[in-house]
Amino acid sequence: MSEHALPTPVNRKLLTPGVLFLLMLTAIMFCIAIVRFGFSGLAGVTNLDQQHPWGLWIAFDVASGVALAAGGFTVAALAHIFHREHYHAIARPALLTAMLGYTFVGIGLMFDLGRYYNIWHPIILWQGDSVLFEVGMCVVCYINVLYLEFAPIFCEGVASEEHSWPGPFERIRHLLRPICAAAYPYLNRIQFLLVIAGVVLSCLHQSSLGNLMVIAPSKMHDLWDTQISSLLFLLSAFMVGFAMVIFESMYASWSLKLKPEMEILSPMAKFIVFFTGLYLAFKIGDVLVRESYGLLFEGSAQSVCFIIEMVFGLIVPFVMLLSARVRNTPRLLFIAALLIVLGVVFNRINVFLVAYQPPYATKTYFPTIWEIAVTVGLVSLLMLIYRVIVTYLPVISHPDKARKA
Amino acid sequence: MSTVSVSRRDFLRKAGLAGLATPAVALLPETAVASEGAELSEDWMGVLVDIQKCIGCRRCEAACNEANGFEVPTDEELTATSVFAEHRRPGPHHHTTINRFPPRDGGVEDGAIFAKANCLHCNKPACVSACLVGAFRKLDDGPVVYDAWKCMGCRYCMVACPFQIPTYEYDYLLTPQVRKCTMCANEGNPNKGGVPACVQTCPKEVMTYGKRSELLTEAHEKIARHPDLYRDHVYGEHEVGGTSWLYLAPKDHSFEELGFLSLDSSPPPMRTERIQHGIFKYFIPPLAWYGLLGAVMWVARPGADDKWQEPAKDGS
């Protein structure tokens, strides 16, 4: 009964001006990496100090990165646990975003760690009381789940006779064919286990990221110093997962000159309404119960950031998405989804940086141009790899490129 | 066309809500299981610091650096009072600092108060709880020490410490460490197992090393004997669940005025551990969540309702 197009490699030129621009940003990042890892360490490249141990790379690359990759498990739950076939077509791009997103969380973390070569230590040195231990172990397990979930897509791409890969890669593809053919049925058989594991693992670490700063209540600004922080992070992860899928699908459609898949994205927007409403209720309720609303008008940088986060990151897109007209208009839906995404990024930056008030600080932290350039370079490289993968592997199902079953 | 039976749709709706509720319930503070409180050990050693005796000679800073193998300040550097111009916090290569605070009447050099800053070796240390690889641990006799080989340099300990004590060697390229006072219990310290270097060196006997419980008694006795000299508060008795380093302030200075932080008596790890232990109690919440999702996946599978529907009227 399904008339959905099957996923297929996208037939678009790879070396566009946009791609070349991303390559340049990536190259800059590599140059800074050489300085950071080969010459100056963290001191020469970051503005971290004894009062501010965590900076942009933790607040954005790690914390926001994990949040924005939440689309993988939320759409997988919709499509494969609740069997909403309607969303099958968007599940693969969402999975790809998650797989690449978490990979780059790991890479970003390597930049930030002082002893990055010990990043594997939590696997053998367990300290179960630590929130960060749980986050780390869940992320390690989940990255494995993501790669195993993506493996069948890779096998399909390898097996296909239809599109040839450039030069030496086509030869590698020939070598891989028998391996992928053998592995494919087994990979498919365990997918249902992986999808459920992915949801459980994601719920665990998305919420625990919210629990990280709870260990420093004396250093947290009252507007964000709540013990329900993990619940807020979990709800906002559900919310931003769908928003990010909409944002990235529409952006990819625009960039690849395809029509946006509104018949999938519009109904999906309703889930954002549900979770945004729930998240707003808990967030506002929390401020009321803890009576921290007085701080809203203290005129500090923190109070301004909180108001921006609430108004532009939550209330405005929530009201927008309540309207069916917004949900069905590509440009308006894109703006609403983008506001949610930016709102969650801003929330993670607020929780980890803005709200963090070390007791003896003589100056505030702001990232160096090198920190920003590394972050921008990592995002660029992620977009590049995404583009390469959808060009050669069957990820995007698009009516324009319909290959009838 | 097939029709989804009402009871199945109903189940899915209820399962969906139960599914949302499961992680939510595990995350609400009231329902999380309370973890055991900070258990005090009688064996813990500590140091009682009598602030009003300190003359600001900073020989404790020199002794500390020497014991740890850091560069030792020269006598000239030690006597230069310009160092007191700004508030100094401990750093990677000087684990303790003395800061000067003006006397009550103001403007007069004599009567200035000097307060020593260093790791307080908490009863329930936030750094120990935060470190995901267990690089920090509290020894049986009290000191909180650091094992560099375990560390991956994530610096969560620095986020966790309410006193902002652990410091980082940001300018070391390959093997940066977290650094802080170890109460001279670190490997390679000549005072290991004995009295810390700063306590031994102090010419005015500002510090007393002994069993924490006995030092507490002594502190309260001092306050009782000289109520005009001492503020009626032992800093570190209850703050963040209690610390091994205890301080007595001069009567007319609050601890906040001397660079100490006003903190309540609840140990920071209690907040996070309560939630973590609640979520992972016998692994039940994650397994229950996994089971519930599996049940939904099974019930909602396509074709499952074929058995439940009436046969179609046209016989297909």
Sequence spans of domains, chain B: 6-35+271-308, 45-124+179-266
pLDDT at B195: 97
Mean pLDDT in order along chain A per 10 residues (405 residues): 68 88 97 97 96 98 97 95 91 96 97 97 95 96 97 95 88 94 96 95 95 97 95 97 95 88 94 96 96 92 96 97 95 97 98 97 96 98 95 84 44
Q: Which residues of A touch B23 (CB under 8 A)?
A: 203, 207, 231, 234
pLDDT the model gives residue A70: 96
B306 interface with A at CB cutoff 8 Å: no
Torsional sign, CA A366, A368, A371, A376? positive
Interface of A with B in 41-100 (CB under 8 A): 41-44, 46, 48-51, 53-54, 77, 80-83, 85
Confidence bin at B25 (pLDDT 50/70/90): low
Check pLDDT > 60 for residue B127.
yes
Q: Token pair of A333, please?
A: 């839906």
Option in B23, B150, B156 nearest A125 (CB) = B150
Of all residues in chain A, the one with the smallest CA distance to B21 is: A231
For residue B27, give the nearest of A44, A116, A228 by CB distance. A228
Closest chain A residue to B148, measured at CA: A115
Q: Inform me whether the C-beta atom of residue B182 falls under 8 Å from chain A C-beta atoms.
A: no
What Cα–Cα distance (Å) separates residue A251 from each residue in A82, A151, A237? 27, 25, 20
Question: Which chain B residue has its CA at the smallest distance from A115's CA?
Answer: B152
Q: Which of B133, B272, B293 minimises the CB distance to A214?
A: B272
Chain A contact present for B269, CB below 8 A = yes
Chain B from 115 to 154: CB within 8 A of any A CB = 126, 129-134, 150-154
pLDDT confidence of residue B39: 73
- Cβ neighbors of B236 (< 8 A, separation 6 or more) are B120, B242, B243, B244, B245, B246, B247
> Tell me, what's the pLDDT at B9?
60
Q: What is the pTM of this model?
A: 0.91
Q: How far apart are CA A163 and CA A7, in angstroms?
A: 13
Nearest-CB residue to B152 (from A121, A227, A230)? A121
Residue B77: how many other CB atoms lie within 10 Å: 14
- How close is the nearest chain A Cα to the Cα of B92, in Å? 9
Q: Kindly state whether B8 is in contact with chain A, defined as any CB-CB distance less than 8 angstroms.
A: no
Cβ-based neighbour number of residue A61 at 10 Å = 25
pLDDT number for residue B5: 47
Which of A:201-220 have CB within 8 Å of B?
203-204, 207-208, 211-219
Residue B280, chain A, CB below 8 Å: the answer is yes
Instruction: Give the A:B interface size as CB pairs under 8 Å.
Output: 196
Which residues in chain B are closer than 8 Å to A215, comparing Cβ atoms?
126, 129-130, 159-160, 268-269, 271-272
Nearest to B244 by CA among B217, B220, B209: B209
Q: How many CB atoms lie within 10 A of CB B144?
A: 25
| Each residue's pLDDT tens digit, B95-108 | 999 999 988 765 55
Nearest CB neighbour to A129, from listed B129, B172, B175: B129
Question: Please, what are the domains in chain A?
Answer: 17-400 (1.20.1630.10)
Q: Which residue has the higher pLDDT, A332 or B11?
A: A332
Cβ pair B279:A119 closer than 8 A: no
Gap between the terminal Cα atoms of chain A: 11
Q: Which of residues 69-108 of B touch A (CB under 8 A)?
A: 87, 89, 91
| Least confident window among A2-16, A183-197, B140-154, B298-312 | B298-312
Q: Which residues contact A28 (CB under 8 A, 6 or more apart)?
A: A373, A377
Reported confidence tier of residue B285, pLDDT bands at 50, 70, 90: confident
Distance from CA of B244 to the nearest CA of A (A): 20
Residue in A43, A77, A195 nearest the CB of B170: A43
Q: How close A167 gets to chain B, by Cα (Å)?
A: 39
Q: Is the pLDDT of residue B308 over 60?
A: no
Within 12-31 of B, beta carbons closer than 8 Å to A belong to 12, 16, 23-24, 27-29
CB B249 within 8 A of CB B231: yes
In this complex, which of A115, A127, A360 lies closest to B175 when CB atoms are compared? A115
Q: Which residue has the tokens 């592997």?
A: A393
Question: What confidence category does residue B20 fall into, taking pLDDT thresholds of 50, 70 and 90?
Answer: low
Contact B17, B11 (CB under 8 A): no
Chain A hits for B173, CB-CB cut-off 8 Å, are 38-41
Contact residues on chain B for A38, CB-CB shorter than 8 A? 173
Nearest-10 Cα torsion for B179, B182, B187, B188: 80
Residue of A86, A113, A203 to mutate when probing chain B, most B C-beta within 10 A? A203
Q: Measure the CA–CA gap between A193 and B281, rounded to whole angstroms.
A: 23
**CA-based nearest residue to B265, from B288, B291, B233:** B233
Q: Which residue in A46, A116, A127 is closest to B134 by CB distance?
A: A127
Helix H or strand E encompassing A95 = helix A88-112
DSSP H stretches of helix in chain B? 6-27, 59-68, 75-79, 126-130, 156-160, 197-201, 212-225, 268-279, 284-299
- The alpha carbon of residue B175 is apart from the nearest alpha carbon of chain A, in Å, by 6
What is the band of B31 on the pLDDT scale with cuts at 50, 70, 90?
very low
In the CATH scheme, what architecture does the domain B45-124+179-266 have? 2-Layer Sandwich (3.30)
Question: Which are the contacts of A331, defined by CB distance < 8 A and separation ≥ 6?
Answer: none
> In chain A, which residues have their Cβ closer than 8 Å to the Cβ of B294?
196
**Considering only CB atoms, which chain B residues are within 8 Å of A211?**
272, 275-276
CA distance B116 to chain A (A): 15
Written as one string, the DSSP assignment of B102-127 is: --TT-S-STT-EEEEE----BSS-HH
* Res B28 pLDDT > 60: no
A315, two tokens: 């209330």
pLDDT the model gives residue B300: 86
Would an 8 Å CB–CB cutoff place B297 in contact with chain A? yes
Beta-bridge partners for B99 = B115
Residue B228 to chain A, least CA–CA distance (Å): 30
